[in-house]
């Protein structure tokens, strides 16, 4: 009679089961653009492949990696830069759960992209998101903590491609750096909450593959950036149509 190693079972339970189409229990978002979509990681993306690693050391703070990750999961949205929203599913950040997001395309702008993420892995020391079709990036995002000697180090690592040619162009024009600042601010906010007065976030970026995957240019049909651009350009016409409809019922 064989005996299953408990560690093997725990690792297996930490992974999400494969799904064909996504569904979410998250509430509160203005729009659900994720339900019915498939996942789309770096393999399905269009642009150059980047690995980005952001780290912050919790110097002088007595806290273990498991406690850091537990707090991060529980209050994940509170560490994001202001103006962005993360709507957690009912079960929280757990394998197989789908969260909804509202992301500012430009900091300070009222217009937001509606998207989401699938939690593909979660255990005591890390959790990983995978993006769906219609996200600006085709990515795996892993959040973790580990010990470096006597110091706990918090880390966010992304393996990402832009999802389509339109987003790739925006990355070349500055969106890439904006995305970096988002995660730098997130880790700094987390570190401050844990007691670090002046956190220093280190970044390491490697272009893993400079090729663009033109066979996935058709991802444009789901492009959130293109959808926002069209929505912005057609907003005046929609406004005038609403004004016309509202004014057509005047008294005689």
Among 171, 167, 146, residue whose Cα is nearest residue 156: 146
Dump pLDDT digits (tens) for 35-66.
999 999 999 999 999 999 999 999 999 999 99
Mean pLDDT of the chain: 87
* Chain centre to alpha carbon of residue 96: 15
Q: What percent of the chain has pLDDT over 90?
A: 75
Residue 145 tokens read as 């903590």
Q: How far apart are CA 176 and CA 99, in angstroms?
A: 23
3 state DSSP class of 25: coil
Burial class, 30, CB count within 10 angstroms (exposed 0-12 / middle 13-18 / buried 19+): exposed
Among 139, 78, 124, 81, residue whose Cα is nearest residue 106: 81
| Strand order through the sheet with 137-148 | 85-87, 98-104, 112-122, 126-130, 137-148, 151-162, 49-57, 201-209
pLDDT of residue 104: 84
Dump pLDDT digits (tens) for 111-161.
778 999 999 999 999 999 999 999 999 999 999 999 999 999 999 999 999
Confidence class for position 227, pLDDT limits 50, 70, 90: low
Tally the C-alpha atoms within 13 A of residue 37's C-alpha that lie toward its C-beta: 24
Radius of gyration of the chain (CA): 20
* Chain centre to alpha carbon of residue 75: 15
pLDDT of residue 224: 66
Q: How far apart are CA 168 and CA 114, in angstroms?
A: 18
Among 220, 227, 182, 183, residue whose Cα is nearest residue 47: 220
Contact 64/161 with Cβ under 8 angstroms? no
Q: How far apart are CA 251 and CA 194, in angstroms?
A: 63
Q: What is the DSSP letter of 59?
A: T
Higher pLDDT, 104 or 69: 69
> Looking at domain 11-210, does it have CATH number 3.30.450.20?
no
* Chain centre to alpha carbon of residue 185: 14
Q: Is residue 183 predicted with pLDDT exceeding 50?
A: yes
């Amino acid at each position: 009679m064989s005996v299953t190693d408990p560690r093997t079972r725990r690792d297996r339970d930490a992974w999400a089961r494969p799904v064909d189409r996504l569904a979410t229990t998250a509430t509160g978002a203005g729009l659900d653009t994720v339900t019915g979509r498939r996942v789309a990681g770096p393999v399905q993306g269009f642009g150059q492949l980047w690995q980005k690693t952001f780290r912050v050391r919790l110097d002088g703070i007595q806290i273990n990696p498991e406690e850091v990750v537990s707090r991060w999961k529980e209050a994940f949205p509170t560490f994001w830069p202001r103006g962005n929203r993360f709507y957690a599913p009912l079960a929280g950040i757990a394998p197989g759960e789908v969260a909804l997001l509202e992301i500012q395309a430009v900091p300070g702008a009222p217009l937001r992209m509606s998207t989401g993420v699938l939690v593909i892995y979660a255990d005591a020391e890390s959790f990983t998101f995978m993006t769906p079709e219609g996200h600006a990036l085709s990515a795996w995002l892993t959040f973790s903590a580990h010990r470096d000697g006597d110091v706990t180090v918090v880390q966010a690592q992304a393996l990402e491609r832009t999802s389509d040619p339109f987003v790739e162009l925006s990355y070349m024009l500055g969106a890439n750096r904006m995305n970096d600042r988002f995660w730098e601010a997130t880790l700094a906010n987390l570190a401050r909450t844990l007691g670090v007065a002046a956190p220093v976030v280190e970044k390491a970026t490697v272009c893993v593959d400079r090729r663009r995957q033109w066979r996935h240019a058709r991802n444009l049909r789901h492009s959130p950036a293109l959808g926002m651009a069209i929505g912005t350009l057609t907003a005046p016409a929609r406004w005038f149509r609403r004004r016309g409809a509202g004014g057509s019922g005047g008294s005689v």
